[in-house]
Amino acid sequence: MVGKMSTSRISFNLINYSFLTILSLLALFPFLNVLALSLSNKTAAAAGLVKLWPVDFTLSSYRFVFMRHEFFTALGISLERVLLGTAISMIISVLAAYPLSKEERAFPGRTLYAWIFVFTILFNGGLIPWYMTIKMTGILDSVWALVLPGAVQVFNCLLLLNFFRGLPKALEEAAFVDGASHWTTLGRIFVPLSTPVLATVTLFTVVGHWNAWFDGIVLMNSPSHYPLQSYLQTVVVKMNTSTFANIDPVQAKLLGEISDRTVKAAQIFMATLPIICVYPFLQRYFMSGIVLGSVKE
Amino acid sequence: MLSHRWKRLLPLHLMLLPALSLLLIYGYGPITGIVIAFQKFMPAKGMFGSPFVGLDNFKYVWNLPDTKQVLMNTVVIAFFKIVLNLLVPIVLALLLNEIRLKLFKRTVQTIIYLPYFLSWVLLGGILIDILSPSQGIVNDIIRALGFKPVFFLGDPGWFRFTVVFTDLWKEAGFNTIVFLAAVTNANPSLYEAAVIDGANRWKQTLSITLPSMLPVIILLATLSLGNVLNAGFDQIFNLYSPQVYSSGDILDTFIYRIGLIDTQYGVATAVGLFKSVISCVFISVSYMLAYRLAGYRIF
């Protein structure tokens, strides 16, 4: 009986392990293919010889991208956006979450405030009124257009306020007895005790800003003001062949070894790399973030 | 006394001020902008000067030949995404839960969760390349197996399938981890009791693991109801082309084209309003159900 059970158990395990291994490989495979392409010679790429390993290894595509300032201008705007956007968004969200985490009794009006916040997730004006509002506030074509309209992430506020509520009431009361104001209570007690949730929300905000592309395309007037993902949207997805426009002799020499396809692959990989690098270290936080957000008791 | 209390409460109001002002401008501002839906909007005259035309914009859109197709595409794509993004992660979580090797389990989780963190621009760029009928590696394999190459992104018949499947590839890791977290809610003593009763792993899964995941399954299922009109703008915008509009054009891409490309602001706002109203109803219902069935509260 025991022996029979373990045989079926062993075969199940075998199938399960193989299945999950294949699945992981399938998930990775597109990235490996793009990486291999970006490191391959253009003739090998065109002949369809590149699978998961570079053929006629060359760094020319990367050298080409490094010589073109567009990629780095866009990268700079992205970094500016991430830093500015995350700082603003976090400060505003923490400030808003604190009063919203109070009981109605302690802070009359908080339920009304909370509903004003939540209503914006339930109903919105749609794309055109959104665009016209931003235009009317005069921030079109500046980094503020990428930062301010989405600065209040209501879901993040809710996550923070639910965490704040779980903190021991006694700490807050003790602080009040000592004469602390709401500002000191928030800064000295709530914020230091909330590092797990703050880390999670910060990470989500950073990734959100890093990955955003649509607002860049719609709200910036010229491609030279695009953040990285918007820039890539035009050169990688929308088949814009301007990649090879105005080149100097040094770059012209490189053209023999690269193609539109390998350059695209190189740019995709360079934009993916930051996330791949930090991801394994941050994953823990993201997971706790998901659990905080979804599996609320 | 009263002034003391007010002094105590004033900081709380002040703390809300930055968020509130931004929400009023960028959250509520656009809501007032929906009057454009009832106007023959002329940018030169603005919201206050453009003539009102009643429901003309709505009638116009409703009579466009594409509209019903677009609505249908949206609901079909969203429906399949919602269903598969629930079922596949449940299965994956159950399979991962049977893995005893911690390192292997973590590695698989990490890998399948990775695409979730990349933008649809990057994933779109990758997919356009690997799915290309002439150069893509996927079609190389299909050809090597002796089949005809498939135009995944250019054939209206394949487009929806590709969209739903690639969305699953990106999103499945997220829900899998949520469900895995839910599995740990199960009481270990239940398993011990089941072993004594002679239940095998499969029976344990059916009668202990799945039921303990049920609240989270119900929660995610009800909350996903709010997305019936969200078929995924970011994804479709980065993958589609005029050849596949017939099966892949969704409300959001439709609004983008009428509004920002053809600059028919009134008409696009009307379609947007239609979407917002229906979505609002569905989101509200989904929150209500989530509260009733799973005790979920927004705040």
Sequence-distant (6+) residues with CB within 8 A of A8 are B200
- B153: three-class secondary structure by DSSP: coil
Rounded to a whole number of angstroms, the distance from the CA of B248 to the nearest CA of chain A is 17
CA distances from A10 to A5, B190, B230, B299 (A): 9, 23, 43, 46
Average of per-residue pLDDT across B261-276: 94
Average of per-residue pLDDT across B282-293: 92
Rounded Cα gap, residues A206 and A279, in angstroms: 12
Rounded Cα gap, residues B57 and B65, in angstroms: 14
Q: Of A51, A114, A268, which has the smallest distance from its Cβ to B137's Cβ?
A: A51
B52: DSSP letter? B
Q: Of A50, A122, A275, which has the smallest distance from its Cβ to B117's Cβ?
A: A275
Rounded Cα gap, residues A61 and A269, in angstroms: 11
Q: Provide the pLDDT for residue B134.
A: 86
- Where exactly are the structural domains of chain A? 29-294
Burial of A143-171, coded b for 16+ CB within 10 Å and e otherwise, reads bbbbbbbbbbbbebbbbbbbbbeeeeeee
Instruction: Assess contact for A143 and A84: CB atoms under 8 A.
Output: yes
Write out pLDDT tens, residues B63-120. Answer: 998 899 999 999 999 999 999 999 999 999 999 999 999 999 999 998 998 899 999 9
- Where exactly are the structural domains of chain B? 39-294
Instruction: Assess contact for A83 and A76: CB atoms under 8 A.
Output: no
Q: Provide the pLDDT for residue A241.
A: 55
Q: Which residue blocks in chain B are alpha helix, DSSP H?
A: 2-22, 29-32, 46-49, 56-63, 65-97, 102-113, 120-130, 137-144, 156-183, 188-196, 201-204, 210-224, 233-239, 245-248, 251-256, 265-294
Query: Does any CB of chain B come closer than 8 Å to the CB of residue A166?
Result: no
CA distances from A258 to A45, A68, B131, B166, B220 (A): 9, 14, 21, 28, 46
Q: Please, which pLDDT band fits residue A238 given cuts at 50, 70 and 90?
A: confident
A95 vs B201: CB contact, 8 Å cut-off?
A: no
Please tell us whether the domain made up of B39-294 is placed in CATH 1.10.3720.10.
yes
Q: Hey, which residues 48-67 in chain A have their CB within 8 Å of chain B?
A: 48, 50-51
Residue of chain B whose Cα is closest to the Cα of A209 = B119
- B280: three-class secondary structure by DSSP: helix
Q: Provide the pLDDT for residue A4.
A: 53
B34 vs A129: CB contact, 8 Å cut-off?
A: yes
A161 vs B299: CB contact, 8 Å cut-off?
A: yes
B1: pLDDT strictly greater than 70:
no
Q: Provide the pLDDT for residue A259.
A: 85
Domain at A29-294: CATH code = 1.10.3720.10
Three-class HEC string of chain A: CHHHHHHHHHHHHHHHHHHHHHHHHHHHHHHHHHHHHHCCCHHHHHCCCCCCCCCCCCCHHHHHHHHCHHHHHHHHHHHHHHHHHHHHHHHHHHHHHHHHCCCCCCCCCHHHHHHHHHHHHHCCCCHHHHHHHHHHCCCCCCHHHHHCCCCCCHHHHHHHHHHHHHCCHHHHHHHHHCCCCHHHHHHHHHHHHCHHHHHHHHHHHHHHHHHCCHHHHHHCCCHHHCCHHHHHHHHHHCCCHHHHCCCCHHHHHHCCCCCHHHHHHHHHHHHHHHHHHHHHHHHHHHHHHHHHHHCCC
Rounded Cα gap, residues B100 and B97, in angstroms: 8
Write out pLDDT tens, residues B137-188. Answer: 999 899 999 999 999 999 999 999 999 999 999 999 989 988 988 887 778 8
Q: Provide the pLDDT for residue A265.
A: 92
Q: Provide the pLDDT for residue A240.
A: 56
Mean pLDDT of chain A: 88
Q: Provide the pLDDT for residue B182.
A: 85
Q: Provide the pLDDT for residue A245.
A: 62
Q: Which of A36-40, A189-193, A258-262, B154-158 shows the lowest per-residue confidence on average (mean pLDDT)?
A: A258-262
Write out pLDDT tens, residues A30-85. Answer: 999 999 999 998 888 888 788 888 888 889 899 888 888 889 999 999 999 999 99
Torsion angles phi and psi, residue A139, rounded to 5: -110, 5
Q: Provide the Cα torsion A185, A187, A193, A194; round to 10°.
A: 120
Q: What angle separates helix B156-183 from helix B65-97, to the nearest 10 degrees?
A: 40
User: Which residue in this structure is represented by tokens 């839910």?
Assistant: B182
Q: Provide the pLDDT for residue A2.
A: 46
Q: Provide the pLDDT for residue B43.
A: 83
Q: Of B16, B174, B284, which has the smallest distance from its Cβ to A96's Cβ?
A: B16
Helix (H) or strand (E) holding B152, with range, is none
- B41: three-class secondary structure by DSSP: coil
Q: Provide the pLDDT for residue A200.
A: 87
A182: pLDDT strictly greater than 70:
yes
Mean pLDDT of chain B: 91
B27: pLDDT strictly greater than 50:
yes
Q: Please, which pLDDT band fits residue A5 given cuts at 50, 70 and 90?
A: low
Q: CA angle, A252 as apex, A246 and A254 as ends, to 5°? A: 130
Average of per-residue pLDDT across A180-193: 93
Q: Please, which pLDDT band fits residue B2 given cuts at 50, 70 and 90?
A: low
A239: pLDDT strictly greater than 50:
yes
Write out pLDDT tens, residues A125-179. Answer: 999 999 999 999 999 999 999 999 999 999 999 999 999 998 988 988 899 888 8
Residues in chain A: 297
pTM of the model: 0.90
**What percent of chain B has a predicted confidence (pLDDT) above 90?**
69
Q: Provide the pLDDT for residue B215.
A: 86
